[in-house]
Amino acid sequence: MSSFVRNQWYVAAYGKEVGRELLARTILGEPIVFYRTEAGEVVGLADRCVHRRYPLSESRLDGDKVVCGYHGFTYDQGGTCVFVPGQARIPRTARVPAYPVVEQDSFVWVWIGEKDLADPGLIPRAPWLADPAYTTVGGLEPLKARYELLVDNLLDLSHETYLHGGYIGTPEVADTPITTEVDEEHRILYVSRHMDDAACPPFYAKSTGVEGRITRWQDIEYHPPCLYLLHSRIAPVGVLPEPDGSDPNGFHVEVVYAITPETESSTHDFWAVARDFALEDQGVTDFLAENNRTVVLQDVEALDILEQVIQAEPEGYQELSVNIDTGALAARRILKKMAGEAAKVPAK
Ligand code: FES
Ligand SMILES: [Fe+2]
């Protein structure tokens, strides 16, 4: 059975990736072509011509219409065929599905599932990415592993100590216990690790200029299936937010991942890092972009290996879970529940 969670919004692209060129992207196994109309609206259509299934992404735009590159069937932005070569009559079934698409917080979100259920109000927010009070770097890495492995990875940050030592990992990450909390009603998973007195890893020492030991908080907020937020706060050791909640002496980094399955064994790994300090400092921007991409690629490399291991092993391998895994196990439970619920919705 597929482990995909349908009837959900997924990040398909960064808004800046979508323009007047046709962009092909497979989401949950569905090939989709994205483009922007002349008025600037993002369109997502099934990337298979209804005639002989030629990819529309290999075709061309004529104004807001897509002209199939094989025999010229032409589709409007709603997916309706408006021209068939060699005949005036257009068959009633000549259309390709159009996907509900919403642009928000610098992402292009696409609804995968029953169209009638697509409520833009359900899209979780990552407002920092489009907020001038933050400076953001980001990227998209192809991951040759199933999306569940990335969920596991991001919900158990103890691996920072080992896989990302010298970048974001220090001994205190693995040593400090986590708290896990599930908001069942809103389907949000919270995993927190607060380190009172920790070494400052190069990622933060170089970007903030803080020297010596730090107070380091990692507060994860996972909106399954797609959006993962890590609210990261660091400050010199002992420096806490003010009683009124303001935090003028803390440095805040909002780490955002969008976890979008491509196929059963590959994933679009969107990552972004938004900071509220040194906003104009290009050196800090370049450093964080380079350093964080390196960290992301360390995960990609490890998860690509894990996917190969899983594919080669016999059914029924038993993992061993321990305390550090409570967040990841809670995520697995929620995803399984959501996949089951979506499977019960009758397809139209
Ligand atoms: S495959 Fe598109 S027009 Fe023939
Ligand atoms: Fe990692």
Please report, for the domain that includes residue 113, its CATH number: 2.102.10.10
Q: Are residues 250 and 151 in the same domain?
A: yes
pLDDT-derived band at 1 (thresholds 50, 70, 90) equals low
The atom of ligand 1 lying closest to the CA of 71 is: 3
60 lines ligand 1 (CB under 6 A): no
Q: Is residue 235 part of a domain?
A: yes
73 lines ligand 1 (CB under 6 A): yes
Of 79, 98, 122, the domain-final residue: 122
pTM above 0.75, yes or no: yes
User: Where in the chain does DSSP place strands (E)?
Assistant: 8-14, 23-27, 30-36, 42-46, 60-62, 65-67, 74-75, 81-83, 101-104, 107-112, 135-143, 179-183, 188-198, 214-223, 227-236, 251-263, 266-275
* CATH code: domain of residue 289: 3.90.380.10
Q: pLDDT over 70 for what percent of the chain? A: 99
51 lines ligand 1 (CB under 6 A): yes
Helix axes 326-344, 147-155, angle to 10 degrees: 140
Ligand 1 atom 4 nearest Cα: 71
Q: Are residues 84 and 232 in the same domain?
A: no
pLDDT-derived band at 3 (thresholds 50, 70, 90) equals confident
The atom of ligand 1 lying closest to the CA of 69 is: 2
Instruction: Look at residues 84, 104, 105 and name the one whose alpha carbon lies nearest to residue 94.
Output: 84
Q: Please state the φ and ψ torsions of residue 43, each to the nearest 5 degrees.
A: -115, 140
Q: What is the DSSP string of 278-289?
A: STT-HHHHHHHH
Query: Token pair for residue 284?
Result: 């800090």
Q: Are residues 335 and 223 in contact, defined by beta-carbon separation less than 8 angstroms?
A: no
Average pLDDT for 95-118: 98
CA of 111 from ligand 1 middle (Å) equals 26
Ion ligand 2: residues, Cβ under 5 Å = 299
Domain around 258: 131-344
* pLDDT 10s digits, 138-159: 999 999 999 999 999 999 999 9
How many whole angstroms separate alpha carbon 63 and alpha carbon 76? 9
Q: Is residue 165 part of a domain?
A: yes
Q: Are residues 249 and 223 in the same domain?
A: yes
